[in-house]
């Protein structure tokens, strides 16, 4: 479980790094970004995970997210993984991609699932990568990372990942938030395409990757914050925030779900509210 440092930069009284390692989960090299605020020797800092959306890598939030000042202020490590495996794999073979070159499936669109259908099952194991492998890597290589205090957030497809990984986490995360999440992938075109492709036609197999379904099954998170732009072009057809509102009300899930007038799906929206999300998580990550 060795890692290679690709870059480090000083920023806001901390270190922004990008790292690479050979992933056992995906069978490929994987890159991820970590921001570590300056801290006293031996101090342990809580972790905020950020899961990115379709077509993105760790670089999108790292370059546009405007989170570092808030993380430095609150003493939070910020971890941003990639969104899918990328080739070549350990045998030198290319990782499969959508045969039609579509942007919403395949490379950059792993949907944070463990695929079970071919040819995706060998490499598209982003659930195992995020839930198991990368936390173990952090524990080994980042001495200040406190895995007893974790929170998770994400955008769009990454919001779907944050919600579902958070709900399945069984107490691992003290708080969960999301920006413009795909809340019910089994009921929207992006999700139906991805879940059919990665998991097959049996919709029962999709339920573990649908936040609204997980809430209906009785899973909960300690606290939930969601921001959704009202001017988001994907809101009506793909995101369907109202379904999450209804599911939280049915479940009695503690949640603040905010519609933000005039904001779209872009990082102009995310960067406006990400520091606020960091502060919200910080309150819940206190020792």
All domains in the chain, ordered by first residue: 4-286 (3.40.50.1820)
Distance, in Å, from the CA atom of 37 to the CA atom of 15, rounded to the nearest integer, reads 6
Query: pTM of this prediction?
Result: 0.98
One digit per residue, the tens of pLDDT, for the chain of length 287 reads 799 999 999 999 999 999 999 999 999 999 999 999 999 999 999 999 999 999 999 999 999 999 999 999 999 999 999 999 998 998 999 999 999 999 999 999 999 999 999 999 999 999 999 999 999 999 999 999 999 999 999 999 999 999 999 999 988 999 999 999 999 999 999 999 999 999 999 999 999 999 999 999 999 999 999 999 999 999 999 999 999 999 999 999 999 999 999 999 999 999 999 999 999 999 999 96
Nearest to 194 by CA among 96, 106, 67, 73: 106
Q: Which residues form the catalytic set? A: 156, 232, 265
DSSP annotation of 277 reads H
Report CA dihedral (124, 125, 127, 132) to the nearest 10 degrees: -150
Distance, in Å, from the CA atom of 157 to the CA atom of 265, rounded to the nearest integer, reads 12
CB 152 within 8 A of CB 51: yes
């Amino acid at each position: 479980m060795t890692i290679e440092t690709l870059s480090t930069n000083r920023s806001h009284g901390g270190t922004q790094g990008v790292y690479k390692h050979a992933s056992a989960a995906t069978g490929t090299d994987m890159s991820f970004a970590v921001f570590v605020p300056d801290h006293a020797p031996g101090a342990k800092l809580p972790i905020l995970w950020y899961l990115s959306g379709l077509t993105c890598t760790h670089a999108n939030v790292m370059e546009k997210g405007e989170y570092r000042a808030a993380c430095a202020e609150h003493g939070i490590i910020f971890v941003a993984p990639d969104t899918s495996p990328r080739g070549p794999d350990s045998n030198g073979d290319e990782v499969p991609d959508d045969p039609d070159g579509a942007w919403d499936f395949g490379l950059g669109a792993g949907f944070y699932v463990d695929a079970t259908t071919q040819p995706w099952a060998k490499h598209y194991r982003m659930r195992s990568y995020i839930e198991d492998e990368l936390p173990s890597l952090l524990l080994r290589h980042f001495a200040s990372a406190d895995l007893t205090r974790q929170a998770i957030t994400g955008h769009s497809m990454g919001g779907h990942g944050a919600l579902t990984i958070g709900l399945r986490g069984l107490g691992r995360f003290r708080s969960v938030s999301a920006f413009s999440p795909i809340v019910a992938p089994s009921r929207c075109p992006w999700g139906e395409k991805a879940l059919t492709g990665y998991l097959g036609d049996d919709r029962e197999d999709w339920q573990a990757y649908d936040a609204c379904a997980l809430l209906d099954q009785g899973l909960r998170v300690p606290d939930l914050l969601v921001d959704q732009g009202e001017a988001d072009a994907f809101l009506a057809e793909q995101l369907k925030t109202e379904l999450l509102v209804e599911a939280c009300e049915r479940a009695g899930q503690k949640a603040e779900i905010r519609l933000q007038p005039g904001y779209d799906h872009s990082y102009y929206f995310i960067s406006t509210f990400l520091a606020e999300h960091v502060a919200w998580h910080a309150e819940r990550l206190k020792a």
